[in-house]
Amino acid sequence: MASIPTITSTQIQRTLFPAKPTTLSSSKTLSLGTPTPTAHPLCRRLVGVVPPPRFHQPIRAGPKSNQADGKWVHEGSITESLPNGMFQIHLDNGDDVVGYISGKIRKNFVRVLPGDRVSVEVSRYDTSRGRIVYRHRKREPTTE
């Protein structure tokens, strides 16, 4: 009797499954110049294909307007300096507001004194408080 040759499992793996997955060759191109995707031998996943993005990226818009933030910008003049960097401001529409200096003005050491004209952001929800966002320059009288 003839003996039947035995095959080990490593020999089966070497013959059925190559060590490296197949790669895209430059000869397989479409008319547009993009490589043709090939199937990986171990699974049905296509090699060389990038999946589409899962989420839509929103278009970046400019800075938010003050209307979107729920704030109104009013002009007025400072009537009194209060403790802790607060100021009493009389707005042009007749209202009185307690305001504080915004961080940008504080950072740049802009001096705000009683009598100065300022722009104030006032919240829709609390119209008695505001934030001083700009100090207007005093206009020099022009002599002609």
> Tens digit of pLDDT for each residue in 69-95?
778 899 999 999 999 989 999 999 999
Say if CB 72 and CB 122 are below 8 A apart: yes
pTM of the model: 0.50
SS3 label, residue 127: coil
Question: Can you tell me whether residue 97 is helix, strand or coil?
Answer: strand
As a whole-number percent, the residues of the chain with pLDDT over 70 amount to 49
- Please give the class, per CATH, of domain 66-135: mainly beta
How much is the pLDDT for 124?
Answer: 86
Three-state SS at 46: strand
Instruction: Give me the residue spans of the domains in the chain.
Output: 66-135
For residue 68, the SS3 value is helix
* Predicted confidence (pLDDT) per residue in 11-38, tens digit: 655 555 555 555 555 555 445 555 566 6
User: What six digits make up the tokens of 16?
Assistant: 């059925």
Backbone phi, psi, residue 127, to 5°: -85, 5
CA distances from 88 to 66, 92, 113, 121 (A): 22, 13, 11, 14
40 and 22 in contact (C-beta within 8 Å)?
yes
pLDDT band at 96 (very low <50, low <70, confident <90, very high): very high
Distance between CA atoms of 86 and 96, rounded to whole angstroms?
Answer: 13
